[in-house]
Structures are given as C-alpha cells and as structure tokens.
Structure 1
Amino acid sequence: MEKNNQISIEKTVVGFIGTGVMGKSMAAHILANGYKVIVYTRTKEKAKELVQLGAEWKNTVMDLAHEANVVITMVGYPHDVEEVYMGKDGLLENAKIGTYFIDMTTSIPSLAVKIYEAAKEKGMYSLDAPVSGGDVGAREARLAIMVGGDEDVFETCKPLLEIMGKNIVYQGPAGSGQHTKMCNQIAIASNMIGVSEAMVYAKKSGLDPERVLKSISTGAAGSWSLSNLAPRMITGNFEPGFFIKHFIKDMGIAIEEAKAMGMETPGLELAKKMYDELAEKGEENSGTQALYKLLDN
C-alpha cells in the first residue's frame, strides 16, 4: 500500500492490538468489511470471538508487525503504548517500511509525537486517533475519532476510520488527537458528577427517575452521559462501557497537561478525587456510571 493511495481491501492486512471492551467491536467491524485482520492481545481468550469470525491470531507483537501493513492499537495505558511501539520486540523495530500505525488508545500527547517522529525516521507513518463513545459507540460503529498526524496520512487511513466511527475529525499535527481527547475527558468529568447527582436527587425526592430522565434528557441538561449512562444508573447496571481505572488514567493525563500549560482545572480535579475514592472502594473495574454509588448513600 503506497502513501496517498486509498487503502484497498485486497492489499491491506490490518493488525489489531488490544481487543477489550471497545477494541473487540472495532476489529470486528473491519473484519466484516472484508479486510484481512490479524490480532494480538495479552490474553488470547479476549480474541476468541474475533478468531471465530475469521481473524488470525498472532502470538507476539513482532509476529503481527512482520505481516501487517496497517496496525491499529487500542491498549490500556501509556506504558502499554510505549511497550507495544518502542520496545525491541515492538512495532517500530519489526514493521515493514511504509507501514501505517493508528494508535486509538487515550495516551499522552508527547508520546504520540515521539512515536510519530520515530516512525517517520523509519519510513513509516503514524496517527494518534483516540476515540469517544464507549462500548455502545464501538459496537454500533459510531465512535467520535479525533486524529493527529500528517493530513495526507489521515486521508489515506480515513476509509478504515470510517468503518469504526461517524464523527471523524482531523485536528492537526501529531499529538493533536490526544490533546482533543483531553478536552473530551475534561468535559465528561464534571458532567458525570452532575448526571449522578441528578439521578440520586430524583430517587431521594420520591420521583420516578425514568420519568425524570424523559423530561431532562432532551432539554438544556441533555448530554451523551445523561442519555446513555443515566439509564444504567437507574437499573443498577454498573458494567463497564468504559472502565473507571482508565478514566482515572485519562484525568491524570489531562491534569498534568493542563498544569504544564499553567491552567487550573478545579472541576476535573474534583471528579478525579471522587473516582479515586471509588477505586479505593474496589470499583476500578466498574463503568464510569458507578459514580452514582458514591452519592447514593
């Protein structure tokens, strides 16, 4: 596959690393669109459904790098991203010249720049393309995708991104996708406090929370979290669409980035403090809507 050409199904082998709550659905959509997909994840069991659908399992990142010409990563933490890309057994040391990398993990902007520069030196191409939309957005292929990197590389890879998302926006040079995702997480953090408080208030005041939700979700209070996560709060469904532990990671990155710019983020810091408390109570693997539990006492 040559730079500036559209990605062709016949010539593209997509390597997908990280098949968790969201990654599994994202990889499945690519597979369903006719691409050859090879997968690697630390826990092979997590890739079982994809293999049954026709994906090919690889035992190591190195094995995947040798075969794929487009690699999408959706792992947990920045240190996982660094290991997958920068390690001696990682992608950059073992992929072919001309390989395209799309890191969809929410990670550190400076790491995205580091990977971009290292890839460029080796004749490879890199985009940072974190997503928003949770398990539902991934499952329904309507994620918001925020992209940093070279614009011509973005245009080349756009057909693959369009398989996974609906709102796909090029934000600027390397790291811009990650900075945009920080804006997203900052907006969500304080909003989640408000959504949780509203639902607990509805319950404690003797109202029917479902009826309350019908009234407020389409008015000025409306938000993605109110429409998608408040119903889960009401029914006691705290399964992860997005893990609390990963949200804490994201908020930590955003706080550090803001401090580096001389910016205060009091709402974000309050939200992180509350989620840290939830994690200490053993809720780190629950969904972010479990903030409701902290207030419903």
Structure 2
Amino acid sequence: MTKTGLAGVGRMGSGMLTNMRKGGIDAVGFDIRPAGEFGNLPVTNDADAFANGLTTLITVVRDMVQTDEVLFGPQGFVLRATDLETIIVSSTLSPKYVRALRDRIPDHINLIDAPMSGAQVGAIEGTLAFMVGGDDAPVEAAWPLFEAMGSNIHRMGGFGDGIQTKVLNNLLCASHTVMTRLILDWASDADLDHGKLLALVEKATGQNWFASRFEQIEFARQGYETGNTVAILEKDVAAALDAAPEGADTALPELLKQMLHNLEPMD
C-alpha cells in the first residue's frame, strides 16, 4: 500500500490536493490549522496520523523555515514517517537550500524538486506547470501525481534543476507583474479603458501571462502585505538572487524586488 500526503493545504495546496483526489489518487493533507477549515478535504493537523503509512510527501509550504519545520522540526516527517520513500519539494525556495537537502535527508529517501507555476487559478483548474528535477525512476513513479495537478509538466534534469528553472521563470513573472500594473496605472492617468488595453496587449508584442489572465489571477490587484501573494513573489525573487551566478549583474532583479515591496493595492 502507498499513501500520498501533501503538507501545506493553503492557497496552492488546496487545489492540488483536490485535483489529485479527482484524479483517483487517495491523497491526504496536513496543515497546522484545524481540520474543520478545509471542508470535505481529508486534512489533519495530527502529525502522527498523517505520517502513519506515508510513502510520498509533497511539501507546498511557504518558505525555507516552514519547509525545515515539515521535514526536520516540529512535524519532522523525515524521521516521523518511517515508511517514507519519496519527498517532492513543490515550494519555491532558494536553489542552494534545495540542493543542500540531499545531504540532510537519508539516502534511502528519493528527492524530487517540482515547483509549479500558474497561481491559485491554475491550482484550482488543474492546469499548473511543473518544473521537475530528480532521478529517473522516482520521477517516473511520481508522474501521475503531476498529471493530476497540472497540464504542463517539464522534465528539467537532476535534483535541483527544477527549482533553478522556477526561480528564473519567476524573475520574468515578477517583471510582468510590476510592468503590467505600471501600465495600468499610467492608463488610468490617461483615461484609457483597462479592458481595451489588456485586450490589445493580449494580441500585441506586450503579451504576457499576467496581463492575459489579469481578471482570473487572485493577486492581480493586491498591494504588498506580509504573507500575501505579492510578498511571496518578492520572496521568489530573493530566492533567485540567492543563486545568482558569481559576478552577475543583479541590479534589475533587485529593483523588481523593491518594486514588488512598494506595490500598492489597485481598485
């Protein structure tokens, strides 16, 4: 028997868990919040119950601190889940941190990094893009999980290559977010219709994911607040900067990070 568990049933994890179950995967969730907050989803905050029989663990928590808590700290599923065979890291974290996990986790546990892109709307629709890194056999075994949650699954290479790809992708996402919001602000100042402008951008050279799905993206109008999606995107830019090549020009990513931090809510 195998048991798949997802730790971090939040903005992204809730849709991911829902779609695995829709796909016939008997997956369960773990979150530190009370189980009653998750409706009909099978979610527990009992670490022992979650760990019992767990063979595949997917982590979708916010950052490195929470990932450490799940793997080694209060939850400590690396040791608590004695049947654990595979860990899939789907949070967007520093590539340096992710690659270093191999030395911290026993060799008998397979490690896959599979961060995703597509925002909450993609998690709900089951259309996420996954960037997958890891050894061939465990990746092949986990492939049905990715297919249940996403529609664009990309095999990027060995362990750590998925997250390296993701932080580079998110540098572009950050630039699209900042610049799309800027042109909409400038459009308001010029009394231009936002809908007409976005429709034009969709068919012109400025086309990008953020502008194309502006009305569906849950954080499109958000300003920066600690813990919200704009703050998470700022964190992702910081993760990319942490893995920047030695001597690289980081001026533009640093500016993007600051602009995200300064972003104000949009009416």
Q: TM-score, normalised by structure 2?
A: 0.89
Shift in alpha-carbon separation, 1:32–1:91, aligned structure 2, 3 A: same
Aligned match for 2:111, one of 126, 131, 134: 126
Aligned to 2:95: 109
Instruction: Kindly state the Cα deviation for residue 139 of structure 1 after the two structures are TM-superposed.
Output: 0.7
Q: Is the 8 A contact 1:17 1:73 kept in 2?
A: yes
Is 1:213 aligned to 2:203, yes or no? no
Task: State the match for 1:68 in structure 2.
Answer: 54
Structure 2: runs of 5+ lacking an equivalent: none
Could you say what the CA RMSD is over the residues aligned between the two structures, in angstroms?
2.4
Residues 94, 106 of structure 1: alpha-carbon distance in 2 compared, 3 angstrom cutoff: same
More helix by share: 1
SS of residue in 1 equivalent to 2:222? coil
Superposed displacement of residue 65, structure 1:
2.3
- For residues 9-44 of structure 1, what are the alpha-carbon distances to aligned partners after superposition, in whole Å with 9 as ceiling and x for unaligned? xx3311111011111010011112222222211112
2:121 and 2:216 in contact (8 A); partners too:
no
Question: How far, CA to CA, are the matches of 1:119 and 1:273 in structure 2?
Answer: 35
Partner of 1:59: 46
Structure 2 residue aligned with 1:238:
222
Deviation at 1:208, TM superposition (A): 1.4
Q: Please tell me the residue identity of whatever aligns with 2:9.
A: T
How has the CA–CA distance of structure 1 residues 63 and 111 changed in structure 2, closer, same or farther, with 3 Å as cutoff? Answer: farther
Q: CA deviation at 1:95?
A: 2.2
Return the TM-score normalized by structure 1: 0.80
Spell out, residue by residue over 1:260-297, the C-alpha distance to the aligned partner (whole angstroms, 9 max, x if none).
5321122221111122234xxxx7xxxxxx4xx4xx9x
1:115-171 Cα shifts (integer Å, max 9, x gaps): 3344452x1111111111001110111111011111221111001111011111111
Alignment: residue pair count: 262
Q: 1:287 — aligned with what? A: none
Closer/same/farther in 2, CA of residues 66 and 114 from structure 1, 3 Å limit: farther
Letter in 2 for 1:211: K
- Of residues 139, 157, 161, the one that matches 2:142 is 157
Mark the runs of 5 or more structure 1 residues left unpaired by the alignment: 1-10, 284-289
In structure 1, the residue matched to 2:15 is 25
Aligned residue number for residue 92 of structure 1: 78
Task: Render the CA deviation track for 1:209-230: whole Å, top value 9, x for unaligned.
Answer: 111211121221111011112x
